[in-house]
Amino acid sequence: MATILSERGEFSVNAGPGKGLWLGAAEAATATGWSLRPEGLCRGEICVPAPKGREAEFTTADMVNLAAFWDHLVMPAAHSRDGDVWALGEGADNRAASLQSLQAPDFSLPDPDGTAHSLSDYHGKKVLLATWASW
């Protein structure tokens, strides 16, 4: 078992053996939004094929090495010493494009009672999004 911390949340997954982060295609799609297709690893309109001659490091018939793809896509990733926890982040380029679009990125966070609030819950109002901290 391994834990993936992604844009979509926190997921317990059955990681396969071997170097990297090998997952079944269905689990990989649930945890990351990237799906394995014949043309490569895809999200929306974008498909990224494994580099020629190195396919075995990236995919098998029904498994995908997310670590290899994240590295290949120059997206940020970090993992625990034992490889049982992986944080898979969004690429800086995508973050930048999102901000430059001026459409405010949505998020969902809990209040102290544990009730989740999303920015999008308040669509139609002006929002002052203000940070603070106790420290």
Partner 1 sequence: MWQDLYSGLQEQNFIIIAVAMDSRADAARPWIEAAAPTYPALIDRDHRVAELYNMVNVPQAVWINEAGRIVRPAENAGAFEAFRSLDFETMTVPEDKAATATAAKTTYVNAVRDWVLSGADSGYVFNDEQARARITVPSAEIAQAHCHFRLGQYLLRQARADEGQEHLAEASRLHPASWNIWRQAAAVNDLGLAAGPEFWERVNALGDAYYYPPVDMADMPK
* Candidate ranges 11-19, 37-45, 48-56, 104-112; the one touching partner 1 (CB under 8 A): 104-112
Q: Is 44 in the site for partner 1 (CB under 8 A)?
A: no
Window of 26-34, 39-47, 49-57, 116-124 that interacts with partner 1 by CB under 8 A: 116-124
When asked if residue 134 is in the footprint of partner 1 (CB under 8 A), the reply is yes
Residue 39 or 111: the one with the smaller Cβ distance to partner 1 is: 111
Minimum Å gap between C-beta 94 and partner 1 is: 9
Residues 6 or more apart whose Cβ sits within 8 Å of residue 18: 65
Cβ-contact 57, 65 below 8 angstroms: yes
4, 10 contact by CB (below 8 A): yes
Q: Which stretch binds partner 1 (CB under 8 A): 21-29, 36-44, 52-60, 96-104?
A: 96-104
User: Please, which of residues 45-84 interact with partner 1 by CB under 8 A?
Assistant: 74-81
Of these, 1, 5, 25, 51, which contacts partner 1 (CB under 8 A)?
Answer: 5
- Apex CA 50: angle with CA 45 and CA 53, to 5°? 150
Of the pair 26, 104, the CB lying nearest partner 1 is at 104
| DSSP state string for 74-89 | T--EEE-TTS-EEEE-
Is the alpha carbon torsion for 81, 75, 104, 36 positive or negative? negative
Looking at the chain, how many residues does it have? 135
